[in-house]
A and B are shown apart, each in its own frame.
Chain A
Amino acid sequence: MTAVSETEQLRYISQQAADARVNVEIETEGMTLNLGPQHPATHGTLRIIAKLDGEQVVAAEPVMGYMHRGYEKLAEVRTYPQVTTLVNRIDWVGSFANETPFILAAEKLMEIEAPPRAQYIRTILHEMSRIANVILGIGDMGVQVGAVTPIFFAFRDREYVLNQIEAVTGGRFHPNFDRIGGLKDDLPAGWIQNTKNAMEKVREFCDQIEELMYGNEIFQARTRGIGIIPADIGLSYGLSGVNIRGSGVDWDVRRDATPHGLVYDKADWKVWTHPDGDSYSRMWVRLQEVREGTKIVDQLLDDIPSGPIMAKVPRIIKVPAGEAYVETENPLGVMGYYVISKGDLNPFRVKIRSASFNNVSITPWLLKGVYVPDIITILGSLYFILGDIDR
């Protein structure tokens, strides 16, 4: 059983790495700091109980559940098309991306496929919700380090993307647009050109924010070398998306395991990684992702094939018995739905694997030994949405 001891060794080392950061020279009486539930860095209502010694965190314990809505239970009494309405509210700043994996899982069980046009539009909307989400995360990070301007820039330029999402889906925040077998509606007239203009605005935002925020000395001082996540520890906690690519892991579900029904392989784009694993690298990768996202959208807009947007599906959808797991690369990381069907109108069990839940589960390890102001930048750089944790 050498294998077992190696695992234990790794655990021991990672434990030591966290403990080593706690370096208290003078023993003082401990203090407990309650961060949240309504701190702006928590994107909702996450509460962190931090035990401090001086300015250092000795132990941090996140407390969730203030926003738990029980979607897994609710999904069991909803029909398949109704579930998209629920899952829209999981990650509320990138709503459309929440629908995609569920719809794909249902399509997988039903063994149907959306027409090519629907697949293209679906991928474009998925990518646009990523842009809308990540822009906000970048702007928000500015607030966490004391710069207020980036958030205004973010909200300003995010509006261009949201307008385009609204123009096609009718909803700025909760599109509820994805359907089993295709999409609800086709694109409105003039949408393609307007979206390209919006993407241009987003690229301008990226250039602006890179000079304004990423080049800023204070921003770098607050984020570089802070909150380092080694790749193997990040993986064992199930970190995904930007948070693991910021640790140098070259893994992107969009490129490596695109589920059937999304057409990321039709566009030419790049997966960005950063070897450092600190707060800065996570934010840096995030910015590159927005740029790549606009490229993907631009390319796919040029190639949208003509044709129907809905496959032939029955009016009342009964999904055949079976189990399927589909995951996609969502704005916050890998999101998946494990759907168990028994051939009824509603799913028998839906396990929602949301990205932020795993991403935040590393915080007790990560916050150990950091200084109080760094808690905020680390949480900001992990960038989670509470709806995505509490589901």
Chain B
Amino acid sequence: MSDETAVAETDEAEIVEVDEAREALLSELTSELADGLVESHVRAGDDLWIRVHRDAWVDAGMTLKQMDFGYFSFLSAIDWLPSPFGRDMNSQVDLTLTPSEDADDEAEAEPMETGVAGGETRFQVFARVNDITTGRAVTLKADLPDDDLNVGTWIPVYPGANWHEREAREMYGINFVGHPNPRNLYLPGDFQGHPMRKDYALLSRRIKPWPGIVDVEPMPGDDDEGDDS
């Protein structure tokens, strides 16, 4: 017991300390990016998210790189559309080949929710950069309106973004303006559609529907559940 309390205390102390560092970083970013920064979120002792305006996407990358965030972790995109094929594998709409009327209703009934640091559009690009000397990291997001999926390329800032942008482009249909080599990375050149979009059906699932969770593996310790409680 004494050990546990000791651990809890140190954890708490750490959280407060790191939190201050992240808040300081956030205020610095706010002053640097000014209007470009739309929203932010600090999870104490854990992580920092910022959502920037689409036009400030490249500037945000450059600003961060100047602030010693020299390490490029990843760049990708999110499709926030609730899947028209059902929320999970037990869902009955999942069993149909095309989204049915009901499925549309369900999708409409279910509002589109975006995640940490908010968002207003269906598509978001997001990326993560690290400052390896201090261990800080920032996750950036930017909204992209449905009718204009364009955003500036990060290649001049982080050359490693090249392949990540090609992947995001083929998987989500996002156009990275200024990308020198916007060809498909994984998919064949003549591939139709953008597979990671939520409205792109996973064909194998359509052909042979998932039987559902009928066989939940018992976890170790399940047997003595009664004893502990």
Partner-B contacts on A (CB < 8 A): 3-4, 6-8, 11, 14, 64-65, 68, 70, 72-74, 76-79, 81, 179, 181-186, 232-233, 235-239, 249, 251, 256-257, 308-310, 312-313, 315-316, 321-325, 327, 334, 336, 338, 340, 342, 344-346, 349, 351, 353, 357-358, 361-362, 365, 390
Contact = CB atoms under 8 A, between A and B. Distances in A.
Given A238-B73, A345-B213, A390 B186 contact: yes
A7 B124 CA distance: 25
Q: Which 6 A-B pairs have the closest CB atoms?
A: A237-B160, A65-B186, A238-B160, A68-B186, A238-B72, A353-B74
B186 A64 contact: yes
B202 A361 contact: no
A256 B157 contact: no
Contact of A77 (B62, B139, B187, B205): B205
Contacts of B222: 315
Interface of B: 47, 49, 62-63, 65-66, 70-74, 76, 78-79, 83, 87-90, 94, 113, 115-116, 126, 128, 132, 135, 137, 139, 156-160, 162-164, 171, 184-188, 195-196, 202, 205, 210, 213, 216-222, 228
A95 to B, nearest CB: 19
Contact of B219 (A179, A236, A256, A327): A179
Given A79-B89, A345-B88, A358-B160, A323 B66 contact: no
B87 to A, nearest CB: 5
Given A77-B89, A238-B72, 10 more contacts: A65-B187, A65-B188, A73-B195, A76-B202, A77-B202, A78-B89, A236-B158, A310-B220, A340-B115, A361-B160
Contact of A185 (B90, B156, B216, B220): B220
Nearest to A180: B219
Contacts of A3: 62-63, 66
Nearest to B71: A235
A336 B127 CA distance: 13
A8 B156 contact: yes
Contact of A236 (B66, B72, B113, B218): B72
B141 to A, nearest CB: 10
A357 B135 contact: no
Contacts of A181: 219
B74 A238 contact: yes
Contact of B88 (A14, A340, A344): A344
A236 B132 CA distance: 12
Contacts of A235: 70-72, 132
A236 B160 contact: yes
B185 A256 contact: no
A145 to B, nearest CB: 28
B132 to A, nearest CB: 4
Given A78-B89, A237-B72, A345-B88, A316 B216 contact: yes
Given A322-B116, A357-B163, A312 B186 contact: no
Given A77-B89, A344-B87, A313 B219 contact: yes
Contact of A72 (B164, B196, B219): B196
16 contacts: A3-B66, A11-B156, A72-B171, A77-B202, A77-B210, A78-B89, A179-B219, A186-B220, A312-B221, A313-B219, A316-B213, A334-B73, A349-B78, A353-B74, A358-B160, A365-B159
Nearest to B205: A77
B92 to A, nearest CB: 14
B219 A238 contact: no
B220 A7 contact: no
Contacts of A325: 47, 128, 137, 139
A154 to B, nearest CB: 30
B75 to A, nearest CB: 9
A328 to B, nearest CB: 13
Given A235-B70, A336-B73, A353-B74, A182 B220 contact: yes
B81 to A, nearest CB: 10
Contacts of B113: 321, 342
Nearest to B89: A77
B73 A6 contact: no
Nearest to A72: B196
A7 B132 contact: no
A357 B167 CA distance: 11
Nearest to A249: B132
Contacts of B219: 179, 181, 310, 313, 315
Given A77-B89, A184-B220, A235-B72, A338 B128 contact: yes
B221 to A, nearest CB: 5
Contact of B185 (A64, A79, A238, A312): A64
B89 A346 contact: yes
A72 B77 CA distance: 12
B62 A4 contact: yes
B87 A238 contact: no
Contact of B66 (A7, A79, A256, A308): A7
B170 to A, nearest CB: 10
Contacts of A257: 135
